[in-house]
Amino acid sequence: MMFESIGGMPNCCGAIETTHLKMYPHKSEGETNVWLDTKNNNSMKLQVIVDPTTRFLDVVFGLPGRMTKDNVLRGSEFFNLVQKREKLNGNEVELPKGTKIREYLVGDSSFQLLPWTMTPYHGEELTEDQSEFNKKLLATRLVASCALKKLKAVWTAIEDSMWRPDRHKLPRIILVCVASFITSKSTWKETWYHVSS
């Protein structure tokens, strides 16, 4: 199955999404403002890039909840590899009007528009074409949200909240959960797969 069959996005190679994993650090850990997210919860970010079958292609975790989605992406090894054209470097696809499009990811408006990311159009008065594009992008992007929901459903350790975690051990716990989830699925894409913390 290809992303084009899901939302009509030709040459799309992945959907990107992040989630917050809430933490309740012990007072003895000292100042925790860097871990505060926009809802004033202490949290750690988990970012995934998935294929159309919800297989994880890239995982980033262990970064403070205060970081934006875009900053998490920009700080990832995946970002560096794409910038060097070592990822998302396949053949371009020619669209009906002759425009060529390279491989790319889809994400929400929290991500910056780059040559290899597609994000929704903004504004109150969108054209019919822009609104249609946003619907297709949303349908495609929801694959990543679905993958995170499946992961959280399987691994209750990160489903809701972790009580008094050691911030230094929490990334290892997340790694074990993600790796176990990936290997429990019958198929996953070894050629792309990358985990960074």
- pTM of the shown model: 0.83
Separation of alpha carbons 49 and 61, rounded Å: 12
Distances from the Cα of 72 to the Cα of 44, 51, 57, 180, angstroms:
11, 19, 16, 23
Q: Over range 100-110, report the average pLDDT.
A: 96
What is the per-residue pLDDT for 41? 84
pLDDT tens for 110-148 read 999 999 999 999 988 999 999 999 999 999 999 999 888
Output the six-digit token pair for 129: 């074409």
pLDDT tens for 32-88 read 688 888 898 888 889 999 999 888 889 998 889 899 999 999 999 999 999 999 999
Residue 101: CB atoms within 10 A of its CB come to 14
Q: Tell me which residue has tokens 């994000």.
A: 119
DSSP calls for 43-81: EEEEEEEE-TT--EEEEEEEEETTS-HHHHHHTSHHHHH
